[in-house]
Amino acid sequence: MFAAILMICGVLTSCKSTQQAAVDKIYDSSQFVNITDVVPDAMLEIRYHSTYNFVGARVDGYEEPVALMTREAADSLRAVSDDLKQHGYILKIYDAYRPQRGVDHFMRWALDVNDTLTRAYFYPYLTKEEVFEKEYVAKRSGHSRGSTVDLTIMDMKTGKDVDMGGTFDWFGPESHPDYCGDPETLEYKPQEGGITSEQFYNRMVLRAAMMRHGFKPLDNEWWHFTLKNEPFPDTYFAFPVRTLTK
């Protein structure tokens, strides 16, 4: 009997240790970096630390207006930046690593059908139910794995955002990379009320540079890219967004 009790205690201790290790892992930021430490030319406009976003409030987990990524993703992003600078562009980052509680905040917002404060600015043609059904908001986000970034480019001569024909986090087909064109052939396909050839081309400049340096695009957001060989494909981190100390 005593031996059996010891065995049970050992199993329980092992389970607790495994669970604690899993918790420790998702709160471990040691493999992450401040993007601006690696890409010093990058401009930051961290929308989820402000109220200018589809939620209409500062998002949970965004304690400082900084951008974090895994070391591997940041190094690849530096290569993108160096590439684009040769053509007169610098990067502007809207979001990168997103803690799971930020994703949870999005879900609460999506399920509150009475909260339509930002509808006119980000999803005028959709209901809250459709925002969730079309997966503009989901229970899990690649951002929480640490190797995904939302970004655009700026013109180094003018200091202004390059015209992409649409705003970040617009929920609709206008945000799709293939809107008014074919990303594979770069053929522009005009349509009434659509984006211009220049706007389509600008989207493709960003897309091509990201893909050249190991990122893969998303089908419904021209600004969203994930490192192909992301180091944590199955881990959804939970530490807050704040400046990492060396």
**CA 74/CA 81 separation, integer angstroms:** 10
At 78 the three-state DSSP class reads: helix
175 closest CA partner among 130, 124, 220: 220
Q: Which of 67, 73, 77, 76 is nearest to 97 (CA)?
A: 67
- Spatial separation of the C-alpha atoms in residues 169 and 109, rounded to whole Å: 15
221 in catalytic set = yes
Strands 89-95 and 43-44 come out as parallel
d(CA 163, CA 154): 9
Within 8 A by CB and 6+ apart from 66, the residues are 34, 35, 36, 44, 46, 241, 242, 243
Catalytic pick from 45, 63, 174, 221?
Answer: 221
The single residue listed with the structure tokens 């986000």 is: 141
88 φ/ψ sector (left φ>0, alpha ψ -120 to 50, else beta): left
- Distance separating the N- and C-terminal Cα atoms of the chain: 52
Backbone phi and psi for residue 124, each to the nearest 5 degrees, phi listed first: -65, -20
Nearest Cα neighbor of 89 from 5, 192, 160 is 160
* Residues with a known catalytic role: 221
